[in-house]
Amino acid sequence: MCVALVLAVSGCGKKTDVQSQTSDLEKAFPAATAASAAAAPSPPAASSGHAPLVDANAYVKVALAAVRTNDYAAGVVVLQHVVQIPGLTPEQLMAVQKTKQALMMDLVERAANGDAKAKAALAAIERTRSQ
């Protein structure tokens, strides 16, 4: 399983910086960062069909809060939902994908170095993909 994840996120081989990609995500979704709440937001409830574009900002806000608390697994899971929301611009989709990739690369690298929390986070992400 870990080998598949390493191959999936290795991409072009250059190291992606989580902070840089998070910054790009914030720029792509300015409404998600405009009104930062003191408490961590919760993801919006899923509606039947596709969520409207406004929910993309709410999801991104949740993902950014997760990254700030070093909960990269939660950030990846939330960002997986963002790409399914219709009406995103190509720049927004690219920012979401690159941020997910940076988070996954960081987790894979830490797991390869023996970080038990990173291994658990990767397993949690894998469980969400198999549901």
The residue whose two tokens read 């990739």 is 101
Contact 44, 55 (CB under 8 A): yes
- List Cβ neighbours of 42 (8 Å cut-off, separation of 6 or more): 62
φ/ψ of residue 7, rounded to 5: -65, -35
Residue 35 is predicted with a pLDDT of: 52
Query: Taking all residues of the chain, what is their mean pLDDT, rounded to a whole number?
Result: 80
- Rounded Cα–Cα distance for residues 6 and 123 (Å): 13
Residue 25 has pLDDT above 90, yes or no: yes
Question: 42-56: per-residue pLDDT in tens?
Answer: 555 444 444 444 589
DSSP H stretches of helix in 17-115 = 18-28, 30-34, 53-68, 72-82, 90-112
Please tell me which residue, 4 or 117, carries the higher pLDDT value. 117
The residue extents of the domains of the chain are 15-34+50-129
